[in-house]
Amino acid sequence: MSLSASFEKKTYQFKRPSGTSRGILTEKHAWIIQITDLENPNDIGVGECSIIPGLSPDFQSLEAYEAKVTEVVKQVSFYAENRELLRPFPSIYFGLEMALLDLKNKGKALFFENDFTKGKKEIPINGLVWMGDFDFMQEQIFEKIQAGFTCIKLKIGAIHFEKELELLAQIRTKYDKDIITIRVDANGAFSPDEALSKLNLLSELDIHSIEQPIKQGQWTEMKSLCARTPLPIALDEELIGVHDMSRKKELLDTIQPQYIILKPSLVGGFKGTHEWIELATDLNIPWWITSALESNIGLNAIAQFTAEFDNDLPQGLGTGALYTNNEPSQLFIENGYLHYRSD
């Protein structure tokens, strides 16, 4: 197969500023790769290279990142055959992998044919509550519940911890754990010394799980925390930058988390995600998949991939309405489930 490729840099605008542990986001950059088979030039495969500054391990600057994307599209046939060279660039790996798979399926944005893409299956998802002040977070929580979500995920660490406990307690006053599942994401906000005491307080509110309570890279401290925690811990950032299978296995064997969370743009696309799933399954560690603020191009691919697995846990795929200038999509959300419009 003789290939040619190009890319377009896109800047997506958030509908409203969105608070994360890495600051307030108002826009999101992505590089959209298009690959053509020169023997069948009407078929074009599209993939998204999506980054989050401060989190994506392959992003240092716009100039350096775009230079690497340029190199890959100029030598697309080489990189298509030697994708392992892109392991240190997980978001670019994923964009290339996505585009090649789309091309293989005739450029129809149909990456995996399954019951989800046939409109026969839906994916349970959590409703995401962004960081902000007390009133803003409270507003989002009850918007999500009114919209039919039964699993709510709150990013914590933006306001005083006692105020966050108050927010969570408000949910629990109205809805018990059998009605509303609550997940929290600390993004490494707790110090190892204070983490256990904070987890004890959170556990009193019947929290389902907490993502990354302490910063990644502290395997000994995280292992101790996972062994003593009163509520399940899910590793997220901890998995980023770990590419080698033996190192992945070592991480899971050492820390023994209760869950892992997988973002394809940050862990090396479908292949990297699949490797983590295989290892986690062998160790009886449950997992779920989340988007990393991709546009609808990447979100569509991730959702189709997620549907390949028999996983009833709510996934983190409810980000399709983030942007004012998002791409058209066959995905839609209804009562806390992600659907694919197959017609």
Say how far residue 56 (Cα) sits from the centre of its chain.
12
Beta strand pairing status for 259-262 and 3-20? unpaired
> What is the arrangement of strands in the sheet containing 233-235, beginning at the earlier edge strand?
127-129, 151-155, 181-185, 209-211, 233-235, 259-262, 287-289
Active-site residue, selected from the candidate residues 68, 144, 248, 263: 263
Which string of b and e fits 73-83 if b means at least 16 CB within 10 Å? beebeebbeeb
Residue 263 annotated in active site: yes
Say how far residue 194 (Cα) sits from the centre of its chain.
27
DSSP H helices, 112-244, are: 134-146, 161-174, 192-203, 219-228
Distance CA 174, CA 172 (A): 5
Residue 144 annotated in active site: no
Residue pair 309/120 in contact by the 8 Å Cβ criterion = no
Distance CA 101, CA 114 (A): 15
Distance CA 341, CA 339 (A): 7
Active-site residue, selected from the candidate residues 10, 68, 144, 155: 155
Query: What is the set of active-site residues?
Result: 155, 263
